[in-house]
Chains A and B, each alone.
Chain A
Amino acid sequence: MKDGFHGWTKLNALSELGIGKMAVIEALDLPDEVGHHLMHMGIVPEARIVVIRRAPAGDPTVYYIDGFEIALRRETARSIRVRTVEEDL
């Protein structure tokens, strides 16, 4: 799929993103209760999310979204679909 403005876009799970990578949230494949909680914290489709760091044990991972930092376990991040935006250089 070719995106005229941003170069190549690819669908991924949030858990697969590396440190420092930015992505745009596509959808949350989570039970309503969990999904609503996350959405009210700002994890909504079309929001930009950046991977900040992993906890010393490798999991959970800290993400930056809309001005604040939130930590999610890999099992939760796996169910959040994102679209990575690779800028054309």
Chain B
Amino acid sequence: MSDCCTTDTIDIKVEPRIPGKIRTVALIGPPNSGKSTLFNRLTGLRQKVANYPGVTVEQHFGKLSGIGRGDLVLIDLPGIYSLDSYSEDARVAVDVLHGDMPGTPAPDAVLLVLDSLHLRRQLTLAAPVLSLGLPTLLLLNMSDLMESRGGEVNTLALAQELGVPVAKISASRGTGLDSITHFLDRKSEVVQPRSTSKLELPVVGNARSYRQWATGISTRTKYKAPLSSEWTRKLDRVLLHRIAGPLLFLAVVISVFQVVFSIGQPLSNTFGDFLNSAGARIGTFLGNGWFESLLIDGIWKGVASVLVFLPQILLLFLFIGVLEDSGYLARAALIADRVMRSIGLNGKAFIPLLSAYACAVPAIMATRTIENKRDRFATILVAPFMTCSARLPIYLLMIAAFIPNKPIIGEFFGLRAAVMLSLYLLGFLAALGTARLLKSSILKAASAPFILELPQYRLPTLRSLGLRVVDRGKVFLKQAGTIILCVTVVLWILSHVPFHSTLPESFIGHVGQWIEPVIRPLGFNWKIGIGLLSSIIAREVIVGTLGTLYGADPATQSLSLQAALRHDLTLGGAMALVVFFAFAMQCTSTLAIVRRETNSWRWPALQFAYMSVLAYLGALATNQLITHLF
């Protein structure tokens, strides 16, 4: 199993280094400098993403085919304010620039992107980057915006001050990019190490001296900051208004959910039907052997059970992308911070946790905006408690089978709705309690400041949204896909050995029966046991497994699944089962993504163990309580 579940660190392949020739270019810039937009522009769809070894920092790299230099590799470094190693991101950037990062070739040239709207502040990053002595091109991004708002800078004077070429560009419009081609063409023949002796650079590591240096340069190059965006202030006056702000925030949240469930769910269902019918059709060509069974019943169905969530996941990525690129994500974090702080998290955790109500996978991947590592890990660990859509099939089945539809408040709110709502609440409370527990124990942080930069509002471009959705989708498929393939094959083998056995006679059936004494106090029988084991891949799989088991049992064969369940389980056992699912980590995709995002198996293992124990205890309490009450 290990060879198909390897980590996702990739060695970047470049041709052997020839001294003096450019092979690898590093792209560096502060947060909100438009660096990612430029990276997408320069590499197009030909980019790859992985994790740097040993850290949780993402590594983006790609061929410079966007400007016709597919022979060169561009490495996108994390967005940072300085090279002082106060953060993991900065340490990664320093290691890559010095060629000390295993698996990443040392860059031969540097593209430094700065936001020309905030040049004075962003110039502080230029000092440590220039002191590296690598051939560097300084790109003043958003220069079209700067000029239209009355800003000015003398690029020639700036180039003379810094001793490197300077170019005005607009990454979002794609203008001025030929300067990069010229720079690379000129430099790729023979690279002269840049002399830094003539340059007066500030004292390394001293923020104040960096500032004085940057202020001096901006004054001497006649930098005139543009007027700040009227739009942003005006919009904030409404979007951050004391009363209108939270109401609009609520409206955004509700509409996101409305779209994810009213468009995403049917899309997922249609996609699932398509996958099943395609599987059945392929199956007819393969005959009725064990090979067909492994391929269709095992791999195809298992992988399909995860793939059905893809439309919803991509839709959520799209929404998170719109929120982030437009600048609203930071405002949402600002509005939610007060509430999130009371459970020991910060405002930036709100949107990720909200997404987890549809699916934990995009939620966990969206936690990258939380800079504080402890807060980020806490958010990752509690996200799977939110009631995701994979829990709905088993909830709906058990509620329909066991809960009579008695009205509580009029016709609109009945007992069934009340049970459903309590299950949502249960997941939320478990997340809350766990967050508090984590923040007061293993993830306790002495000083975790909440520093939030509010970028100006921008209209997200279709191009960058599309690339983001494709990029995140690829990460999900690659990460979850490989592990799911392993688990489906293992589960299929376990449910088919010895050969020609039915599910109850198979190895997994025996394990299900063997664990019956353990799950008996929860009100579960061996069939539920098998269901729990097989749904480790994805929560909704249990419905199919129970259908198979009850359909094959002579005693319940003629009954519908709901009737069969009523025949076999008590009310206590049924409610214990939904409580079990509210707490348990029955999701291989989430475990795979947690491993990727935390870069260690330790966290998903801890999460799995903790959630399983909680699920067991919760189900036990539910069954005992209901059995004694009714």
- Which residues of A are in contact with B by a Cβ distance under 8 Å? 30-34, 36-42, 44-45, 47, 53, 55-60, 62, 66-73, 75-76
Contact = CB atoms under 8 A, between A and B. Distances in A.
A33 B121 contact: no
B58 to A, nearest CB: 20
B338 A36 contact: no
B86 A56 contact: no
A68 B242 contact: no
Interface residues of B, number: 39
A66 B334 contact: no
B400 interface: no
B118 A73 contact: no
A41 to B, nearest CB: 6
Contact of B334 (A33, A39, A40, A62): A62
A66 B118 contact: yes
Interface stretch (B353-361, B405-413, B444-452, B492-500): B444-452
B338 A55 contact: yes
25 contacts: A31-B446, A33-B447, A36-B86, A36-B207, A37-B449, A38-B451, A40-B81, A42-B121, A44-B207, A44-B211, A45-B208, A55-B240, A56-B243, A56-B246, A57-B337, A57-B338, A62-B236, A67-B117, A67-B118, A68-B121, A68-B454, A69-B454, A71-B334, A71-B450, A71-B452
Contacts of A70: 451-454
Interface in B179-225: 207-208, 210-211, 225
Interface of B: 81-82, 84, 86-87, 117-118, 120-121, 124, 207-208, 210-211, 225, 228, 236, 240-243, 245-246, 330, 334-335, 337-339, 341, 347, 446-447, 449-454
6 smallest beta-carbon distances between A and B, as pairs: A39-B207, A57-B338, A40-B81, A69-B454, A71-B452, A40-B82
B455 to A, nearest CB: 8
A36 B225 contact: no
Contacts of B454: 62, 68-71
A45 to B, nearest CB: 7
Given A33-B447, A53-B236, A59 B337 contact: yes
Contacts of B225: 67
A57 B341 CA distance: 12
A68 B337 contact: no
A32 B451 CA distance: 15
B449 A73 contact: yes
B127 to A, nearest CB: 11
Contacts of A45: 208
